Amino acid sequence: MNKNLTFFIILVAVGLSIFLGIALGRFTLNKLSVETANSACAVTMTDIIASAQGDVYVIEGDTEFVEPQSYYLVTYSVEGDEIIEPFLEPVPNNLADEQKDIALQTEAWDVFTTIVPAQDRQMLVQYNVFTDGNSNTLAAVDQNLEDPSKWILEIDIADLADRDALLFTLIHEYAHLLTLNATQVIPDQEIVDDPMNVAMLEEKAAACPNYFAGTGCSYPNSYIHTFYNRFWVDINDEWKKIDALQYGEDDMLYFDGLYSFYKTHQDQFVDDYATTHPAEDIAESFTYFVFAPKPTGDSIKEQKIAFFYEYPELVQLRENILNGACSLKE
């Protein structure tokens, strides 16, 4: 039914970096009234949300977006808080210094483990350090090819300087782990083995009695099934027609289509990237849930943020993430 999940997980980071470049400072946050008592933390939250403002699908000029070359530098196994057994990938000479910079690679990992508590990231078994240069993709997650119940976190070592954008992206990526892990969506080895097999995906989607999340069939009480049922049923047919455009010749048709879909339904999405896919919508909404104040209005996009407050374990997780994020700023 859908594209390779890796594609859209990675696309968010591409998008984030695109809009970070064009939109910083364009957005004023006078509507935010931060509820936390800790004023340093309130500033941190505001900064992190500000780092993610802009329109991903507004691409300037007529030229097609060309994705830069990306290289894996080092892959680590994850054991609790530790990263072990570094494996050095073959890289061009100009990346040799970055590849040897274990201190920086560890620093990036430490940022992630500081904001996401150990008990909430047990699905992670691997940490990949990559780079596609400054900006572009900041981070990504992917399923382990041998065991799709296990997951991989990937961070671009060239993108640590913009800490606010990194924190926003890491929590967005973490939201994929939270909503697609094996307690939420049934891992499917056949999909991991052949992720672009559209006919197979359509067959699996048709056989799934709950929301089919791209990586597999979700459980009836999963976050993503509940979220989809509440917020996507009415708009899914319209969205699917636009989503299909990405398989056509012209990427711009797809990007323009999504952006106009966003403009039509702007009260329903926290930002335009959230229209990419229901799995991206829940990830982006979760990130706003973490870093934005609790919504006071009743628009659908505010309902999407408020959705996560229905789960006590996620309210606790939010507090832990914020404590971690704010401790990094001290």
Interface positions with Zn ion (CB under 5 A): 9, 12, 280, 283
* Those residues with Cβ within 8 angstroms of residue 323's Cβ, 6 or more apart along the chain or in another chain: 41
Angstrom distances, CA of residue 176 to CA of 135, 197, 199, 214:
21, 22, 24, 12
Smallest distance, Å, CB 9 to Zn ion? 4
Residue number of the CB atom closest to Zn ion: 12
CA angle 276–11–167, rounded 5-degree value: 100
As measured in angstroms, the least distance from the Cβ of 62 to Zn ion is 27
How far is 236 from 37, CA to CA, in rounded Å?
40
Q: What is the DSSP string of 115-165?
A: HS-GGG-TTEEEEEEEESSSSS--EEEEE-SS-TTSEEEEEEGGG-SSHHH
Residue 33 Cβ, how far from Zn ion at the closest point, in Å?
A: 28
Least distance from Zn ion to the Cβ atom of residue 276, Å? 8
Considering beta carbons, is residue 262 or 326 the nearer one to Zn ion? 262
Number of H helices, E strands in the chain: 13, 5
Are 9 and 141 in contact, with CB atoms under 8 Å apart? yes
Contacts of residue 313, Cβ cutoff 8 Å, sequence gap at least 6: none
Q: From the CB of 209, what's the least distance to Zn ion, in Å? A: 25
Residue 260: phi, psi to the nearest 5?
Answer: -75, -30
Residue 273 C-beta: closest distance to Zn ion, Å: 8
Contact, 31 vs 4, CB < 8 A?
Answer: no
- Using an 8 Å Cβ cutoff, are 20 and 165 in contact? yes
What amino acid occupies position 160?
L
- Output the smallest distance, CB 188 to Zn ion, in A: 19
Closest CB to Zn ion among 99 and 143? Answer: 143
Shortest distance (Å) from residue 26 CB to Zn ion = 23
Shortest Å distance, C-beta 161 to Zn ion: 22
Angle between helices 278-291 and 5-23 (to 10 degrees): 50
Residue 9 vs 111, nearer CB to Zn ion: 9
Alpha-carbon span 154 to 70, nearest angstrom: 12
